[in-house]
Amino acid sequence: MLAKLFQFHGGVKPATHKEASTREAIAQVPLPGRLVVPLHQSIGGTPRPQVLPGQRVLKGERIGAADGNVSAAVHAPTSGTVVAVEPAVMAHTSGLTTLSVIIEPDGEDAWIRCAPVDYRAMPPDELRDTLRDAGIVGLGGAVFPSHLKLKPGKGGRTRSLILNGAECEPFITCDDLLMRERAPAIIRGAEIMAHILQADEILVGIEDNKPEAIAAMEAAARGKAQIQVVAIPTRYPAGGAKQLIKVLTGIEVPHGQRSTDYGVQCFNVGTVYAIFEAIDLGRPLISRIVTVAGNVARPRNFEVLFGTPMDHLAAQAGPQPGTDRYIMGGPMMGYPMPAFDVPVVKATNCVLVASPALFPPPPPEMPCIRCGECAQACPADLAPFELYWFSRAHNFGKAQEYHLFDCIECGCCAYVCPSHIPLVDYYRFAKTEIWAREREKDAADQARERFEFRNLRQDLEKKEKAEKLAAKAAETKAKLAQEAQSGGDGGADDPKKALIAAALERARAQKAQAEPKNTDNLAPATQAEIAAIEARRTVLSPHADSPGSAGFAQPARSPGDEQWTANAPLSPPDEAESGLVRPGSARSPEDA
Amino acid sequence: MTTAYTAGRTSLRSGIILLLFALVFTAMMALVFELTRPTIAASTQAEKMKLIDEILSPGSYDNPLLEDFLELGPTPELGLAGGGRLYRARQAGQPVALVVELTAPDGYAGRIDLVAAIRVDGQVSGVRVVSHKETPGLGDYIDPRKDKDRQRPWITRFNDLSLAGVGAGGWKLKKDGGPFDYHVGATISARAVTNAVGRALAYVAGQGDALYATPTPP
Amino acid sequence: MDIARYREIFWNGVWKQNTGLVQLLGLCPILAISTNLVNAVSLGLATILVMAMTGLVIAALRNFIPYEIRIPVFILIIAALVTVVDLAFNAWLHGLYLVLGIFIPLIVTNCIVLARVEAFAAKNEPIASTVDGIGMGVGLLLVLAVLGGLRELLGSGTLLTGIDLIFEGTQPLVLLGQDYPGFLTAILPPGAFITLGCLIAARNWLDSRAAARRPSPRPPQAQPA
Amino acid sequence: MITSPFIRKPTSVQQVMLTVLLALLPGVAAYVWQFGAGILVQIAIASLTAVVVEALFVHLRDKPVGLFVGDLSAVVTAWLIALAFPPLAPWWLTALAVALAIGVVKHLYGGLGQNPFNPAMAAYCLMIVSYPALMSQWPAAGHLDFQSQLQLILGGARDLDAITGATPLDALRTALREAAQPDSALHGLAATHLMEGPAYGWLGGRGWEWVALGYLAGGLFLLQRRIITWHIPVAFLATLAATALLLWGMRPEQFGSPLFHLASGGTLLGAFFILTDPVSGATTPRGKLLFAGGAAFITLMIRSFGAYPDGVAFATLLMNLCVPLIDMATQPPVFGHKKD
Amino acid sequence: MTHYLFVVLSAVLVNNVVFVRILGLCPFMGVSRKLDTAVGMGAATTFVLTLGCGTSYLLDQYLLTPLDLGYLRTLSFIVVIAAIVQLTELVIQKTSPVLHQVLGIYLPLITTNCAVLGVPLLNVALGHGLLESLLFGFGNSVGFTLALILFAGIRERLDGADVPTPFRGTAVAMITAGLMSLAFMGFAGLDRAH
Amino acid sequence: MLAALLAMTGLALLLGAALGFAAIRFKVEGDPLVDKIDAILPQTQCGQCGFPGCKPYAEAIAKGDADINQCPPGGEEGIRKLADLLGREFKPLNADNGTEKPKAVAVIDEQVCIGCTLCIQACPVDAIVGAAKQMHTVVEPLCTGCELCIAPCPVDCIAMVPVPETVETWKWRYPVTKIHKAA
Ligand SMILES: Cc1cc2nc3c(=O)[nH]c(=O)nc-3n(C[C@H](O)[C@H](O)[C@H](O)COP(=O)(O)O)c2cc1C
Ligand SMILES: Cc1cc2nc3c(=O)[nH]c(=O)nc-3n(C[C@H](O)[C@H](O)[C@H](O)COP(=O)(O)O)c2cc1C
Ligand SMILES: Cc1cc2nc3c(=O)[nH]c(=O)nc-3n(C[C@H](O)[C@H](O)[C@H](O)COP(=O)(O)O)c2cc1C
Ligand SMILES: Cc1cc2nc3c(=O)[nH]c(=O)nc-3n(C[C@H](O)[C@H](O)[C@H](O)CO)c2cc1C
Ligand code: SF4
Ligand code: SF4
Ligand code: SF4
Ligand code: SF4
Ligand code: FES
């Protein structure tokens, strides 16, 4: 029974450039001088470091423990000594650093004791924990912790487990080679996962330009009725999880929904292989297959330990002159690396050695002519030019209305755009801006809540104080009344008068206190506020300009910027302090 | 806007003030109206006379033209769907000419309102466009103020011609076999005006003396 | 002192808060009546008259008008004054009356009159309010004049058509020659919008040029690099 | 920093526009064959003006002149104006139209890609409103030699009465109107009869049907090169034909036949080259159908009842107005959101 | 029947208040920055204008004309309309606070939307009956709303355009309005059959 | 003339009655606009706008007493949103109120702090913990960066430290359009 194939909208067919790196088998990489293993290698919480500098570790020893459930452990890729646990530049376009464990290999490559697991005997929850602690994350690029994806959806069953062997990006062949060489292990891994997911069938989707891999997988799956290897038409991005699910099952999983709820789940074949190793061999995830291609003499696939510097890896393939940067991933979705020596991480499926000759800088960006090419190419059925139009204008609300977050950043739109617009950059820009705004909004909401709470608390405190005062006043009144009574002739008026006089006195004092400046007929409260603000500014500025705090407050001010300081003469600290009385806490004269 | 009408007292007070203002300013307007009424009536008359003077020489009659008129009901012959007026010019009591309001319904862009003066012998004394919607720059030469030919505006082509002079059925554009020329590219406007004037002449001729004889309605 | 203030108010109306170019109020008469210079200027003068009168009257009466019914009262006063002007034009400037037609009564709803009354006359003394009204009116007049002149010139190659209706015996100027094939759109509504758009842009451009030239008293904060 | 994708399909705006120009060539060839080489002069005048004005504005905006003039979009606009104008229009009319199209309608909005209105059609409308007389002088087929055409275009005196008349659309309108008059000689004659004069060919105006066929060929070429999609031409032509059929079926004596409408005026140029302007047109598939359908309906209304002989230009502008709303309302469902 | 249809159609398209009659320009320019406010303003104007045409017809027919008070027309119309606007405001404020916030400053300005006075005056000038007056008012306000919504759609899109600096904002909006009015000239003559 | 006066009197009375009735019938309280404005403000509560906190500023805007460009922490973005909400024209931040700065948090130098609690009283969001005579600490995620705690500190031990960028907060830059000729 051959499954009926479906089609996804859009897509493009760039030249694949895959032949060169499939000529030779997967090779091992000699141990580098040091391995830099970032702790943060997957979506979710950054694993907590488990080792200290100077400590010796064995291959496969856990060096970072999962931080919460949305996280995955990190392990030592080889045996050796931890030289440092410090921030190091990560394999990320930003060039930011992240806490990394730096290991100096001892060359012995000594494994910890591996404990295979009998998956049929172990309850699924424990299996998932095992996978988390083995550091298994998606190797298809998204590095999402796999144990989280291995939960059956509603109803506890899954219709189809899909193995993603499409590998649609040009240049990349790591999955191809993995399937050719280790098909039986992949099938074994798939069976484990089908067990966890309670899946009815396993579909292996492979683009029809990889006949060898298809043949190998079919051979390995022979006799297993549950498993079907399906050749799908070669069209980028057929390997996108949603697209592959659509092609194989016709199901469209919307953005932000779990595919298991739709009865399907999709894993990269590399992930499946890693799960096989973790369960059947008891080995955590410490290496992966990486394609080295591009501006190298012998493009090839390597089994690479995480933490291996990319230039060390590239050296194995015979780098050629003219290289200007490395790209992690393929030419459609890959990220340029900030340096040559960034480490290979779990997300590294390919190190594309780039040169201006191979990937020339794009022609100048022209305005969008709304030709609609991009919409015809978009596999997510979006209107990329509208997203671009609004992102460019910083109109993020509109961009979201046009489903910015359904964009999978596949790059098809930018690939076809006759105006050479870096469309995906605009989307990435817009997405990170929106996230930043959401964070700000959350922070603001929290601040509002806390501010209101504080005001409430202060009001309560004030009320209490007032009550106390009132009680005291009543006492005084009573006392005065008593005195009057005893004094006799003063009459009933006198104590009242005294009280009024006292109150007047207080009010006057308050007024004097609250009116440090000649701000005219405002309410006393407002005046106090204004004073507060005024004072705060005046005190702040000398701070900002004093050499001691210049390092903190803000970057050095330009010399031409006198006005700022001119506005803020030094003022005696006591005024400043009295000025700092905040409205809620406006001190009554009694306090002073 | 505030809606501070709630308190009955304020709202009453406001009402009274509003009323006062209304009264004072209405009084002012009424006063000015009474003051200007005669002048306005006079200048409206003058305006009308100015147009009529263009098509009928003021010296040719001696009666107060605007007071000697006939109310016409709907008259399809003149294109008047809602009726109009017809003024009579007389010299020493003798009929001199009729000033007819007429409409050409089939202009390029709709109705063309005209006024024509027709002498008692059936000759056209003059025609003017009162209002029209013809395309500016193309069809609007029917209005002499817009006609590029200041010396001899197109609309004066009809002057001193009569149905009889042109010949029965011959009151037409050159294009349609008549004597009247037109601007190329804007035949429709010219045709509409020409045909309307022709129909008016026929109507006046058909009615005969009755138009002069009927007394002015009160 | 007062002179300086009045000058400020006046300048505000003529340039800074120009009704046609900045506040975008009172657009209908501006656009509709600017088909030629004579009409435009006449309407401008009429508006100045109305604005000065309403400013004066309302500012003088402002203390008698309760806040909550101010809008109806303002409208009442404006409407009455406009009707008076309308009647006066009809009686004594009949030719002009025919030209300005429906638009004299519409000065009532000319947003700018009410807007100024509400924003200024209701809060200031009569003289200042009159100055403000005149300033706003002059601003409007200038826009009208430029707009009317441009449109007439482009549209028919002449200036001051219709002047004979006001001054007997005068003749319009034919500037671009008898053969000038008028750019008719200029006289039609699209031309009005487009020309006014260009005037607004010209004002923006002049303003930004002036701002760039003037060493601003408050240099903008130098952003930390 | 250069980011992904690192590879791009070899296409460019220039190539798109060049393809459009190529696609116009069959129509131009037919034009020259039927009406003489005067149109080439018009195209030259228009293109020259377009390049100069475009360069001027691009320079004023401080953008690279070579890049933006080289994108050829201004030349497309120029050619379309030249082809939509009467071929013997005086040179300044064409030049003024092109200058307004590029300078006002395109560059005041920021230039290429930003204009909400179709520059060529906006200029056409500006001109027919401003110079209705000049804009309705059309020559009959094969009437004039090149020399006199050149003189008419460049020269001053324009005694055109002898050689020009109304175009078929215009003439038919006039005739139909006359036929509606009870006292006219033509009264009661059907449009098909009115169209038997020498000004008419086997479909629409004599000679024009060949030009229309040229545009059709060019349009098919554009479809084949995937510069345009089928939606706009098909929706436009189908709606136009259907509406015309309806009117003609009801009162053949008052309305032109569907075939006549398809072959006359700006129909085919509009369907393939004008309404398909990507910048000012609708972008979604359903939106394109609505856009073109609406344009066809308005075109026919204007032709049959309106004040202007051809409605393609006004219909284009009117539908341009609706584009933001149409696009908003017809966004196709996004992947995964199809059911709701 | 067709006559009434023509009254409406002609008011909406052929003699559009904004583009042909040039009335109601201030709110047209002022409230067209965003589509949803445009819709709200259109709805409010439709309500006020239709109602205003009806009332002013009655006022004219049964008060001013019999008493020969033609010169009070402007005054009384505007006062009645101002009252209607204020009523509308109160009702909207109560029933739809959001709409009220959005329309906020513009609701009182409806009073000064000259279309609101101009259309009733045109009604008198054209000698419309009650039904015609109502339809004419309705047609004109629909025409106003249509113009406003189309304009707002384009202006929203223009937000992202790289318009030359002096033309940013209202200048280019004005030019857009000009081209829109040019487009509407295409409808010229469609009411001729009427 | 009498007719005119009578007619207008009648009209004025009628309308006055109708309006008066409606004003009572459709009375509304509360102002949802303030909350909408407040939701846009950054809640730094720093008072730079000239009002004691964001809510009072929101109220002032709603009433028309304050302009929309007075909140430096909200920056251009905030002004843009306010302009959008209120249908006003965007205008740049009023320099009198301060300038937009990168977000920073207060850090107390724990070596120097004498535990006077003055900063605790100043902090509008209770972001500082500590008790009298004990060292105080700023709870970083709660700190809005309002700088109100800096001035009261008698020993100047509080400094504002810009929040460092992490992979989570890193933003893609706006793609630079190289269309303009000028470099
Ligand atoms: C445009 C695009 C293309 C992708 N191509 C592939 C691919 O060819 N092969 C693959 O395994 N994953 C690909 N992915 C990643 C998949 O969407 C998905 O993350 C992965 O198959 C899930 O498996 P994992 O969790 O094991 O990584 C692609 C993603 C996108 C957005
Ligand atoms: C935009 C436009 C406006 C026109 N306006 C008028 C007009 O106002 N009056 C008119 O007679 N013809 C007008 N025409 C021309 C008519 O359609 C028709 O062609 C002409 O009347 C026929 O005249 P002919 O027989 O001299 O060619 C106009 C044509 C166009 C294109
Ligand atoms: C887009 C467009 C293209 C046009 N192309 C032609 C054409 O090829 N042939 C023609 O006769 N008129 C053409 N015209 C001119 C119009 O038809 C013109 O308005 C004329 O008055 C009516 O011409 P027609 O009716 O027969 O062609 C075109 C008009 C437009 C708007
Ligand atoms: C298929 C196609 C059709 C076009 N049609 C027009 C057109 O009708 N009018 C025009 O001015 N430009 C047209 N252009 C050119 C260009 O898109 C247009 O000038 C833009 O509006 C400029 O921003 C067209 C371009 C293409 C690719
Ligand atoms: S492909 Fe490029 S030019 Fe075409 S619509 Fe998309 S973004 Fe615009
Ligand atoms: S990058 Fe996003 S918008 Fe572009 S084609 Fe891919 S999914 Fe569509
Ligand atoms: S300036 Fe901004 S953040 Fe600070 S209190 Fe005012 S509104 Fe709040
Ligand atoms: S710790 Fe200081 S800067 Fe931070 S919120 Fe509190 S007072 Fe403001
Ligand atoms: S002047 Fe007409 S709406 Fe303002």
User: Span C168-190, mean pLDDT?
Assistant: 82
How wide is the angle at C-alpha E84 spanned by C-alphas E83 and E85, nearest 5°? 90
d(CA A579, CA A194): 69
Dihedral-angle region of residue B160 (phi above 0 means left; psi in -120 to 50 means alpha; beta otherwise): left
Q: Look at residue C164 and tell me whether its pLDDT is greater than 50.
A: yes
Q: So what's the pLDDT on residue A521?
A: 40
Ligand nearest to the CA of D311: 3
- Tell how strand B124-131 and strand B110-119 pair up: antiparallel
Ligand 8 centre to CA of E94 (Å) is 41
Residue B59 identity (one-letter amino acid)? G
Any atom of ligand 3 within 6 Å of the Cβ of D205: yes
Task: Tell which D residues from 271 to 330 touch C, by Cβ distance under 8 Å.
Answer: none
- Residue E66 has a CB neighbour count (10 Å cut-off) of 10
Asked if the model's pLDDT at residue A449 lies above 80, the reply is: yes
In chain D, the residue whose alpha carbon lies closest to the alpha carbon of F177 is D63
Residues A505-511: contacts with CB under 8 Å, at least 24 apart: A506/A589, A509/A589, A510/A588, A510/A589
E70 — pLDDT class (breaks 50, 70, 90): confident
Residue A486's pLDDT is: 62
Is pLDDT of D76 > 90? yes
Strands A74-75 and A264-268: unpaired
Residue pLDDT, tens place only, D12-58: 999 999 999 999 999 999 999 888 888 999 999 999 999 999 999 99
| pLDDT the model gives residue D64 | 92
Note the pLDDT tens digit of each residue in C139-156. 999 999 999 999 999 988
Secondary structure (3-state) at A288: strand
Residue by residue, DSSP assigns D275-338 as: TT-TTTS--SHHHHHHHHHHHHHHHHHHHHHSSSS--HHHHHHHHHHHHHHHHHHTPPPPTT--
Token couple for A276 = 């096989």
Preceding amide of A237 cis, omega within 30: yes
| 3 state DSSP class of B91 | strand
Contacts of D136 in chain B (CB under 8 A): 185
Q: Do chains A and B touch (3 or more CB pairs under 8 A)?
A: no
Q: Which residues in chain F have Cβ-Cβ distances shorter than 8 Å to D114?
A: none
* Interface contact flag, F12 B22, Cβ < 8 Å: yes
Q: Among C73, C87, C92, select the one facing B18 at the smallest CB separation.
A: C73
Q: At residue A581, does pLDDT exceed 50?
A: no
- Determine the Cα–Cα distance for residues A337 and A38; give it in Å rounded to an integer: 15
CB A499 within 8 Å of CB A477: yes
Q: Give yes or no for residue A165 CB within 6 A of ligand 6.
A: no
**What's the pLDDT tens digit per position in A325-344?**
999 999 999 999 999 999 99
List, in order, residues 6 or more apart from A37 with CB less than 8 Å away. Answer: A63, A74, A76, A77, A100, A101, A102, A103, A306, A307, A343
> Would you state the pLDDT for residue D329?
94
3-class secondary-structure state, position A398: helix
| Whole-number Å distance between alpha carbons of A435 and A392 | 16
- Please give the mean pLDDT across all residues of chain A: 83
Give the DSSP letter of residue B154: G
The helix or strand, by DSSP H or E, that contains position A161, with its residue range, turns out to be strand A158-164
CA-based nearest distance D254→chain F, Å: 51
Res E71 pLDDT > 60: yes
Residue A36, CB-side half-sphere exposure with 13 Å CA sphere? 18
Average pLDDT over residues A507-529: 43
| C181 at interface of D, judged by CB pairs closer than 8 A | yes
Tokens of F71: 């909140």
What pLDDT is stored for residue F177 in this prediction? 56
Task: Map residue B20 onto helix, strand or coil.
Answer: helix
Nearest by Cα to A314 from A538, A8, A32: A32
Which residue from B minimizes the CA distance to C72?
A: B18
Average pLDDT estimate for A46-73: 92
Residue A143 has pLDDT above 80, yes or no: yes
Token pair recorded at residue D297? 């309906």
pLDDT score for B42: 82
Work out whether strand A35-38 and strand A48-49 pair parallel, antiparallel, or are unpaired: unpaired
Q: Is D316 in the pocket of ligand 4 (CB under 6 A)?
A: no
Cα separation, E192 vs D318, whole angstroms: 20
**Neighboring chain A residues of C216 at a CB cutoff of 8 Å:** none
Instruction: Summarize pLDDT for A459-490 with one digit per residue, the tens.
Output: 898 889 888 888 888 887 777 777 666 654 54
Q: To the nearest whole number, what is the mean pLDDT of chain D?
A: 86
Task: Give the confidence band of B119 by pLDDT, cuts at 50, 70, 90.
Answer: very high
Among protein residues, the one whose CA lies closest to atom 7 of ligand 7: F54
Percent of chain A with pLDDT over 90: 62
- Say whether residue D285 is in contact with chain A using an 8 A CB cutoff: no
User: Ligand 2, residues D85, D125, D129, D136: which to mutate, most atoms within 8 A of Cβ?
Assistant: D136
pLDDT at A410 over 70: yes
Please tell me the predicted confidence (pLDDT) of residue E105: 56
Which residues approach ligand 8 with their CB closer than 6 A? F 106, 122-123, 125, 127-128, 138, 143-149
Backbone angles phi, psi at A559, to 5 degrees: -65, -30
For residues B69 and B74, give the distance between their C-alpha atoms in angstroms, rounded to a whole number.
Answer: 16
Q: How far apart are the first and last CA of chain D?
A: 40
Q: Residue E94 has what pLDDT?
A: 73
pLDDT at A512 over 50: no
- A210's CB contacts (< 8 A; 6+ apart) are A165, A167, A176, A179
SS3 A202: strand
Name the minimum distance, in Å, from the CA of B38 to any CA of chain F: 16
Residue numbers in D near A420 (CB within 8 A)? 8, 12
pTM over 0.95: no
Phi and psi at residue B167, in whole multiples of 5°?
105, 145
| pLDDT band with cut points at 50, 70 and 90 for residue D203 | low
Which pLDDT score is estimated for A184? 95
Nearest Cα neighbor of E116 from E153, E61, E79 is: E79
**What's the pLDDT at A538?**
42
Chain A, 544-563: which have a CB under 8 Å from a chain C CB? 554-558, 560-561, 563
Distance (Å) of CA E80 to CA D154, E50, E60, E108, E111 = 61, 13, 11, 13, 10
Give the Cβ contact number of residue B48 at 10 Å: 16
CA of F170 to the centre of ligand 5 (A): 28
State phi, psi for A126 to the nearest 5 degrees. Answer: -70, -35
The 10s digit of each residue's pLDDT in A536-549 is 434 433 333 333 33
Type of residue numbered E186: G
From atom 7 of ligand 8, which residue's Cα is the shortest distance away? F123
With 80 as the cut, is the pLDDT of residue C201 above it?
Answer: yes
Q: Across residues D54-79, what is the average pLDDT?
A: 94
Q: Residue D199: pLDDT band by 50, 70, 90 thresholds?
A: low
Q: For D21, which DSSP code? A: H
Q: Residue D135: closest CA among chain B residues belongs to which residue?
A: B185
Count the Cβ atoms, other than its own, within 10 Å of residue A469.
Answer: 12
If you take atom 3 of ligand 5, which residue's CA is the nearest one?
A368
Spell out a b/e string for D108-132, using b for 16 or more CB atoms within 10 Å of the CB, else e.
bbbbbbbbbbbbbbbbbbbbbbbbb
Q: What is the pLDDT of residue C113?
A: 84
| Contact at CB, C222 and A554, closer than 8 angstroms | no
Q: Which amino acid is at A290?
A: V
Band (pLDDT 50/70/90 cuts) for residue A577 is very low
Residue A575 — pLDDT band, cuts 50, 70, 90?
very low
Q: Do chains F and B touch (3 or more CB pairs under 8 A)?
A: yes
The residue count for chain F: 183
F142 — contact with chain A (CB < 8 Å)?
yes
pLDDT, residue B170, reads 81
Tens digits of residue pLDDT in B137-187: 678 889 887 777 778 889 999 999 888 888 767 888 887 778 888 887 678
Going from the Cα of F160 to the center of ligand 8, the distance in angstroms, rounded, reads: 9
Q: Judge whether D184 is closer than 8 Å to chain C, CB to CB.
A: no
Are A359 and D327 in contact (CB < 8 Å)? no
Cβ of F45 less than 6 Å from ligand 7: yes
Give the strands of the sheet with A74-75, arranged side by side. Answer: A48-49, A62-65, A74-75
Q: Which of E130, E113, E109 is nearest to E56 (CA)?
A: E130
How far apart, in whole angstroms, are the C-alpha atoms of residue C131 and residue A318?
Answer: 85
| Rounded average pLDDT over C99-120 | 71
Comparing A341-350, C95-104, C150-159, the range with the smallest average pLDDT is C95-104
CA dihedral A319, A325, A326, A330 (to 10 degrees): -110
Question: Which residues of chain B neighbour E75 with C-beta distances below 8 Å?
Answer: 25-26, 29
Task: Give the three-class secondary structure for B201.
Answer: helix
Q: Is D112 in the pocket of ligand 4 (CB under 6 A)?
A: yes
Cβ–ligand 2 contact at D308 (below 6 Å): yes
Question: Chain B, 100-129: which have a CB under 8 Å from a chain D CB?
Answer: 106, 108-109
Contacts with D63 from chain F: Cβ below 8 Å: 179-181
Distance from residue F148's CA to the centre of ligand 8 (Å): 6
Q: Which atom of ligand 3 is the closest one to the Cα of D138?
A: 11
Residue of A368, A370, A398 to mutate, interface with E, max E Cβ within 10 Å: A398
pLDDT (0 to 100) of residue B77? 85
Q: Would you state the structure tokens that stand for residue F159, as one six-digit string?
A: 């400094």
pLDDT digits (tens, 9 = 90+) for A230-265: 999 999 999 999 999 999 999 999 988 888 889 999
Mean predicted lDDT score pLDDT of chain F: 80
Query: Which residue on chain E is closest to A395 by alpha carbon?
Result: E160
Task: Show which subunits contact E, needing at least 3 CB pairs below 8 angstroms.
Answer: A, B, C, D, F
Cβ–Cβ contact F64 with E under 8 A: no
Q: Is the model's pLDDT at A448 over the cut of 90?
A: no
Query: Which ipTM was obtained for this model?
Result: 0.83
Least confident interval from A173-187, B46-60, E128-142: B46-60
Q: How far is the CA of B186 from the centre of ligand 2 (A)?
A: 4
Per the DSSP assignment, residues forming a β-bridge with A28 are A303
Q: pLDDT tens for residues D225-246?
A: 999 999 999 999 999 999 999 9
Burial bucket for residue A570 (CB in 10 Å: 0-12, 13-18, 19+)? exposed
Q: Is the CB of B187 under 6 A from ligand 2?
A: yes
Give CA–CA dist A104/A57, Å, rounded. 10
Helix then strand count (H, E) for chain D reads: 16, 2
Cα–ligand 7 centroid distance for F120 (angstroms) = 19
